[in-house]
Every structure is written in C-alpha cells, then in structure tokens.
Amino acid sequence: MGFRSPLRGPWFTSVLGAVLLVGLPIVIVTGLLSYIAYGPQFGQAMPGDVGWLRLPQFDWPTDPVWLYRLTQGLHVGLGLVLVPIVLAKLWSVIPKLFTTPPVRSIAQALERLSLLALVGGILFEIVTGVLNIQYDYIFGFSFYTAHYWGAWIFIAGFVSHAILKTPLMIRTLRGRSLMQTLRDGQEHGDSDLIAADPSEPTISRRGALALVGGGAAFVAVLTVGQTTGGFLRNAAILLPRGRSYGDGPNDFQVNRTAAAARIPEDHAGWTLTLTGGTSPVTFTREALLTMPQHTARLPIACVEGWSTVQTWTGVRLRDLAAAAGTPEPGSAQVTSLEKDGPFRQAMLQSNQVLHPDSLLALRVNGVDLSPDHGYPARIIVPAMPGVHNTKWVETIEFRTVS
Ligand SMILES: Nc1nc2c(c(=O)[nH]1)N[C@H]1C(S)=C(S)[C@@H](COP(=O)(O)O)O[C@H]1N2
Ligand SMILES: [Mo]
C-alpha cells in the first residue's frame, strides 16, 4: 500500500505523542477516580465485581466542594479535546499498522498486540464515551461496564507503548528544534514513517499542526460551555443533555425530568420517612420547613461532564440523622419516589451525611424546587457525583455499618 504523504515522519508523530503522553494520563486517572467516587464499597459503582483490577477504595472526600466537578469535567472535557490529536497521531503512523509481513518475531508480535490494545482500546473508549454523553444509555449492555473494561485494555496498551516509545520520542524531539522543522518542512533521517516515494505536499507541516491544534481548540469551544454556562452553553453541542430548562431560579440543567421519571404531580400526601433508629420517623414538607434551614452554594456535577453551581436551602442531613435517633451513621441509603430506573436510590458515606453543607434541599435560589429538580425534596452533597444527588426523596435509612 502506498502511504505517500510527505508530512509523515518521526518528528510529526513525536510532537503529537508528547501531547498525548501528558494529556491521556490525566483522562485515565480522572476516569478511575470517577469509579471510586461512585462508591464501589457499597457495590454501587459499575461494574460491581472487578476481580484483581479492584482499585484502592477510600471514602470520596466532601472537600473541596468542586472536586468531582473538576475531575469529571477534566475527564470528559479533556477527553473530547484530545480526540483530534489521537486521530492525527493514528493517521501519522498508519504505514506502521500495515507493515508486511505482519509478524516477524515474538517480540514484534507482542509489540503488535500492545498496539492492538492501544488503538482498539482508545477508539472503543472514544466511541462509548461520546455516545454516552449524546444519548440516554442506548447500549444493550451497561455503558459503565464496557467503558471500564475498555479502559483497562487501553491502559495496558498505553503503558507498554509509552515504555517502548518514549525514549525514541525524546531523541527525535531533541534532535530537531520546532522552528527548524517548521521552517524546512521536510522530515529527515531513516525511519519507516517517512514515505520512500513522497508525493507533493498539499499542506505545510506548520499548516498540519495548526489544523490539528485548531481541531482541538474547536472541540474545546464546543465543550467548555457545559461547565461555564452562559453564552457558551449554547455551543456545547457535544453535551446536548443537561441543557438548561426550567423557569426563573429553577432554570438550570435537568438530566431526568419528573415526567420521564413518572413522578406523580400531586404531592399533597407526601411525607419523608427516616429509618434506622428505634422506630421510623416521618415528616411532612411543612414540618421540614419548620426545622433549622441551612443554605449552601454547591455544584451538581454529572458523570457526563456538565456541571452547574446553585444555591440550595434545606435541612442538614446530619440534623435528620439526629432526628432519626442515629446521630453518627456509618452510611445512609436514600430512596426516591421514582419506581424504577437505575438512579432511584443511592448510598451515602458517613462523611457525606455529616458534612455541614450536606442537605435535604427543599428550595433552590430562594424558591421551592421545581418538579424537575426534585420537589418535594432532594439530596445535595458537596463534591458528590451528580447521580447520587437523588431527586424526589421518599425515605432515608441511616445505617450503623459503613
Ligand atoms: N430519583 C432520581 N434522582 C436523580 C436522577 C434520576 O434519574 N432519578 N438523576 C441524577 C443525575 S444523573 C444527576 S446529574 C442529577 C441532576 O440533577 P438536576 O436534574 O436537578 O440538575 O440528579 C440526579 N438525581
Ligand atoms: Mo448525572
């Protein structure tokens, strides 16, 4: 096969490789942190049983309050921004992927296997990740499970590739200055990345780098609005869900609407039930409003990368724990009015119940919660993944075990 672009060469590949060598570990680590933030100790991270790939388990912190907003914003945002660079890097090494004969030695067979994990793994992670933020769980299998196992295959490929190739990358980048290479446009030396019979360039090397960088910048513009909100939110077309809708003070991202969750519209008979003490305790919404109210500015940060900061008012979870007769719970199980759906319940860690800003929110931005944001009451806990901030809460069971 003739791959004749004069742009290909070790220098071009190395520049892209250096960017990915810095960027991809951030995407990997923040992704694994997201798994831990979901609370695998409660069996509520997916996949549940990961055998010897079990990550260190620790209670996800509640401080700083923007922690998950940062880690997951980076995971999704940086992950998207790096897509054009990954594709350019793959393009730059295409001749290598098609060398003949495909296998010459055992060492080379192993190297090619690691390339398969690297290339297959990253393409799989990009496709599953992008589809998950575009559509509502369209997979016949669990997105989380697929994305988790895919990640480990990719990590294995990435680590072996980085060990094998980083020395060559450093040598290549040291050998020629950026300016020098951009100026004369041609790659030199002896490398099977350089076309033996190059065609006429259709674009300069400078232009090629600008194209790739511009692609990444363009994706960045289409992404940052998911976190910044405001004008750029309209440009965040890569995250169509979590767009603002609602009225007045309730006008901020809604993931699942009350209608979609089939929450009844009439809450006249609603009560909150707390269990775990000697006997269950129930509260009407009026009764909750007569308890001490606390206000906190806290983010909701979704696994899909979008986030928003709002001002929530309600009863402290630790006050509710005390009212239930369990002032120092080891954990708490929150259950929603929602009848089914994967997010109808969540387990909270002890630190998430006891944090002074952890609330059963009744109001947001000075008004009652809207039905879509969880009326009559919802959970809001600092630094917790959005998904565990259960809406339309019906019961909380405080437990002694953690
Ligand atoms: N009962 C229930 N609570 C839920 C959900 C849900 O589907 N059902 N979605 C969760 C998810 S994934 C997120 S990101 C937040 C979003 O809250 P918001 O719609 O008020 O912005 O609510 C969480 N609480
Ligand atoms: Mo979410």
Q: What is the mean pLDDT of residues 73-90?
A: 97
Closest CA to 122 of 93, 97, 91, 147: 147
Cβ(300) – ligand 1 distance below 6 Å: yes
With a 6 Å cutoff on the Cβ, whether 344 touches ligand 1 is: yes
Which among 364, 367, 366, 365 has a CA at the least distance from the CA of 378?
364
Q: What is the mean pLDDT of residues 284-313?
A: 96
Q: How far apart are the CA of 386 and the centre of ligand 2, in A?
A: 5
Where does the chain hold its CATH 3.90.420.10 domain(s)?
A: 259-400
Instruction: Say which amino acid occupies 204.
Output: S
Q: State residue 295's pLDDT score.
A: 98
Whole-angstrom Cα distance, residue 134 to residue 281? 41
pLDDT at 393 over 80: yes
pLDDT at 301 over 70: yes
- Ligand 1 pocket residue status of 386, Cβ below 6 Å: yes
Q: How far apart are CA 194 and CA 189, in angstroms?
A: 8
Percent of the chain with pLDDT over 70: 96
Determine if ligand 1 sits within 6 Å of the CB of residue 250. Answer: no
SS (H, E, C) the chain: CCCCCCCCCHHHHHHHHHHHHHHHHHHHHHHHHHHHHCCHHHCCCCCCCCHHHCCCCCCCCCCCCCHHHHHHHHHHHHHHHCHHHHHHHHHHCHHHHCCCCCCCCHHHHHHHHHHHHHHHHHHHHHHHHHHHHHCCCCCCCCHHHHHHHHHHHHHHHHHHHHHHHHHHHHHHHHHCCHHHHHHHCCCCCCCCCCCCCCCCCCCCHHHHHHHHHHHHHHHHHHHHHHHHCHHHHHHCCCCCCCCEECCHHHCEECCCCCCCCCCCCCCCCCCEEEECCCCCEEECHHHHHHCCCEEEEEEEECCCCCEEEEEEEEEEHHHHHHHCCCCCCCEEEEEECCCCCCCCEEEEEHHHHHCCCCEEEEEECCEECCHHHCCCCEEECCCCEHHHCCCCEEEEEEECCC
Average pLDDT estimate for 14-22: 97
The pLDDT tens digits of the residues spanning 332-344 come to 999 999 998 889 9
- Residue with more model confidence, 143 or 392: 392
Nearest CA to ligand 1 atom 21: 254
Q: How confident is the model at residue 97 (pLDDT cuts 50, 70, 90)?
A: confident
Cis omega (within 30 of 0) for bond into 61: no
Beta-sheet pairing, 359-364 with 367-368: antiparallel
Please write the tens of the pLDDT for every residue from 159-200: 999 999 999 999 999 987 777 777 776 777 778 888 888 888
Mean pLDDT, to the nearest integer, of 126-144?
78
Instruction: Give residue 363's pLDDT.
Output: 98
Is CATH 3.90.420.10 what the domain over 259-400 is classified as, yes or no?
Answer: yes
Mean pLDDT for the chain overall: 92
Q: Residue holding tokens 């296998």?
A: 103
Query: Angle between the 143-175 and 106-134 helix axes, to the nearest 10 degrees?
Result: 120
Q: Lowest-confidence range among 7-11, 146-150, 152-156?
A: 7-11
Ligand 1 atom 16: residue of nearest CA = 255
Please indicate whether residue 261, judged by its CB atom, sits closer than 6 Å to ligand 1.
Answer: yes
Q: Ligand 1 atom 11: the closest Cα is on which residue?
A: 387
According to the model, what pLDDT value does residue 176 have?
Answer: 77
Determine whether the shortest distance from the Cβ of 15 to ligand 1 is under 6 A: no
343 lines ligand 1 (CB under 6 A): yes
For the CA atoms of the chain, what is the radius of gyration? 25
Place of tokens 């700083």: 64
Residue closest via CA to ligand 1's atom 9 equals 387
**274 is written with which tokens?**
């707390």
First to last CA, the chain: 60
In this model, does residue 391 exceed pLDDT 80? yes
Interval between CA 29 and ligand 2 midpoint (Å): 19
Largest CA-CA distance found in the chain, in angstroms, rounded: 83
Phi first, then psi, for residue 17 (nearest 5°) are -60, -40
- Banded pLDDT at 74 (limits 50, 70, 90): very high
Q: Ligand 2 centroid to 23 CA: how many Å?
A: 24
- Tell me what pLDDT residue 136 has: 62
